[in-house]
Amino acid sequence: MKLSVTNDFDFQFYSDMHKDVFGWRPRIIDFERFCAQPEYRQTEVIDHWQKEIISQNNREAQKHDFNFSQFRTEIENSMSVLPDWKAALDLMMQSANEPNMEIFLHSIKGLSSQKTDEIIFVYNHRQEDYCNIFTKEAA
């Protein structure tokens, strides 16, 4: 399927993929140049971008896994002198001078959005039986 300059969906598709790969939206002239290429070349570029997006996602997941592992270790170490994981988290946030838990977990500790949301939910709902989010099996 050859992308066309006159099709808005084609431009949105190209623009979204370009932003995912390079971090910025392309100019219209870039899209026009892309559309002027033969279909096989367009396919090669899109396939390459798809592979790059998958690779970026995998690297990001590995980074989040590593960050969570480090965070979990900090929590476990703090729990040796504190009553529970919530007190440990409170102390860590206080030490970092960051009162916003979402910013602390996601931006400062580098946890994934999913893990950040999960920890905030458990923390706010006081589900003590659900604190297994910090066990090694749950990671």
Read off the pLDDT of each residue in 23-32 and give the average, rounded to a whole number.
91
What is the rounded (10 degree) CA torsion for 116, 17, 12, 10?
-150
Better-scored residue on pLDDT, 138 or 108: 108
**pLDDT above 90 (res 111):** yes
Better-scored residue on pLDDT, 11 or 128: 11
Domain ranges of the chain: 8-58, 60-138
Q: Which residue has the tokens 């790059």?
A: 52
| Cα angle 112-117-122, degrees, rounded to a multiple of 5 | 130
Q: Which residue has the tokens 């102390």?
A: 91
Q: What is the pLDDT of residues 82-106, one digit of tens each?
A: 888 888 899 999 999 999 999 999 9
| Whole-number pLDDT of residue 133 | 66
Q: Tell me how far apart the terminal alpha carbons of the chain are, to the nearest angstrom.
A: 41
**pLDDT above 60 (res 114):** yes
Read off the pLDDT of each residue in 23-27 and give the average, rounded to a whole number.
93
Q: Where is 74: in which H helix or E strand? A: helix 39-79
% of the chain with per-residue pLDDT over 90: 58
Q: What is the pLDDT of residues 48-91, one digit of tens each?
A: 999 999 999 999 999 999 999 999 899 888 888 888 888 889 99
Whether the Cβ atoms of residue 18 and residue 33 lie closer than 8 Å to each other: no
pTM given for the model: 0.71
